[in-house]
Structure 1
């Protein structure tokens, strides 16, 4: 069968964010009932704690679906692409760790999983073991902005930085990107798959994206879909090679577009 090139999406794709928001909203009531039945009332007194509990319950359903949807783009990027000492930024529960399975990535010598949410650490370590990475995967329980101080990561010591759908939700992403760049060795690679601000700023989708983003972060754990993350990456420092592209088939009707690819630090 001949290969086909994914075609840009049509106008109906503008409605997709509404569907995703409805999926998240559906889990508000089950979360509320579960907290009441378990007499765990503390999250009910704190909007931020309730959002965390709500998103955790929602993500049990949506996380695997999100991974399945993104896998065709993420797998070719990550599989057999990481090498040496790696920084895995915001890995969560480790849903992508199977791509770094030791059997297929013999060039990996160490992976630091930088995950500030300690509630994710147990499952993250378990998934590292499942991927045969138990001896090389180390969880660092701090934010990416603290890697040089609390994390013990020295400048110029990292061969590969991995950011998969995390820069959209972490605080001060532009500053963190600039602080991560010096950690890369000359010739080191940054692997990226992230939500970004639409490139079609003169079209309706740009206004629609900003409207959706007024409520999107509340339903998706702080995710901001209007960040120019690709531009921040390009401005972080000197790159020898840049291979970035849009998500497969994404165009002027996609409200939640992506950038995917690699950046290689100048030697």
Structure 2
């Protein structure tokens, strides 16, 4: 069964305004995205709104990703450090802000990591961070969506020791379907490491309605991120697990519009 959240001090009502601050940070990068695309004669972002959002988010996340990592580090580091083993699937790694945790100094039991990142604007920084982490010979960027790992990238059932999803299942299309497709790739006894946005458990309270309202605009500013997905419930239903250790993040509660679940699941 999922673990219970540890008792800790929760943030107060003013925490409801935190999403507005994050949205303003993202909005700031609209102008630089347009400006640098024009002066570099790179008109690909203007071919479609999806291309523009990819370029916009890539520029924004190159700045904000490390800041996000610093904020989440106390919660994510104990999860990832020394926990991944063997052949790993790193789903949606973005610019690779967590790769230092997989470096040989922190985790010598990893033999190969496939970084599954469909946003090609992230690839240069992702490869750079892989090299910085000492993973140049172990880290391979896979430029397709998680939904294409079997059909396009050729990954086989039972070929993966560790799946890593850190704040990515909120953004991928058809997440429930993809979770079910990733499950067979995991070996028996393989581990799925999780740190994800989830739908607030405080439905019927103010934060439940506020989360739904914020989510009307949030995906446009955060490259498709949906903060109302019951990802933890989808993971539990993906298949048979011999061990489940998922819990709410300490300190998050009824005033958190963007709550998380953290932990791991081990396949039966």
Q: Same fold (TM over 0.5)?
A: yes
Which residue number corresponds to residue 214 of structure 1? 216
Contact 2:61 2:95 in 1 (8 A): no
Q: CA deviation at 1:37?
A: 3.8
The one of 31, 43, 49 aligned to 2:33: 31
Q: Which aligned pairs between 1:99-138 and structure 2 lie closer than 5 A?
A: 99-138=101-140
Q: CA deviation at 1:209?
A: 0.2
Q: CA deviation at 1:54?
A: 2.2
Q: CA deviation at 1:22?
A: 1.2
Is 1:66 aligned to 2:68, yes or no? Answer: yes
Structure 1 residues 136 and 242 mapped into 2: Cα distance closer, same or farther (>3 Å)?
same
Q: Which aligned pairs between 1:143-162 and structure 2 lie closer than 5 A?
A: 143-162=145-164
Q: CA deviation at 1:26?
A: 1.9
Structure 1 residues 72 and 144 mapped into 2: Cα distance closer, same or farther (>3 Å)?
same
Which residue number corresponds to residue 97 of structure 1? 99
Contact 2:55 2:121 in 1 (8 A): no
CA distance in 1, matches of 2:48, 2:111: 42
Q: Give the secondary-structure state (helix, strand or coil) at the position aligned to 1:217.
A: helix
The one of 203, 206, 219 aligned to 1:204: 206
Structure 1 residues 39 and 183 mapped into 2: Cα distance closer, same or farther (>3 Å)?
closer
Gaps of 5+ in 1: none
Q: Give the secondary-structure state (helix, strand or coil) at the position aligned to 2:54.
A: helix
Deviates more, 1:209-218 or 1:20-29: 20-29
**Aligned-residue CA RMSD (Å):** 1.7
Which residue number corresponds to residue 82 of structure 1? 84
Q: CA deviation at 1:99?
A: 0.3
Residues 30-56 of structure 1, C-alpha deviations (whole Å, 9 max, x = no match): 333333444445534532232223222
Tell me the TM-score normalized by structure 1.
0.93
Which residue number corresponds to residue 3 of structure 2? none
Contact 2:189 2:266 in 1 (8 A): yes
Which residue number corresponds to residue 227 of structure 1? 229
Which residue number corresponds to residue 250 of structure 1? 252
Structure 1 residues 204 and 17 mapped into 2: Cα distance closer, same or farther (>3 Å)?
same
Gaps of 5+ in 2: 1-5
Structure 1 residues 206 and 72 mapped into 2: Cα distance closer, same or farther (>3 Å)?
same
Q: Give the secondary-structure state (helix, strand or coil) at the position aligned to 1:86.
A: strand
Deviates more, 1:48-57 or 1:211-220: 48-57
Structure 1 residues 172 and 253 mapped into 2: Cα distance closer, same or farther (>3 Å)?
same
Is 1:14 aligned to 2:16, yes or no? Answer: yes
Q: CA deviation at 1:96?
A: 0.7
CA distance in 1, matches of 2:65, 2:77: 16
Residues 47-92 of structure 1, C-alpha deviations (whole Å, 9 max, x = no match): 2232223222222321111111111111110000001111111112
CA distance in 2, matches of 1:131, 1:80: 14
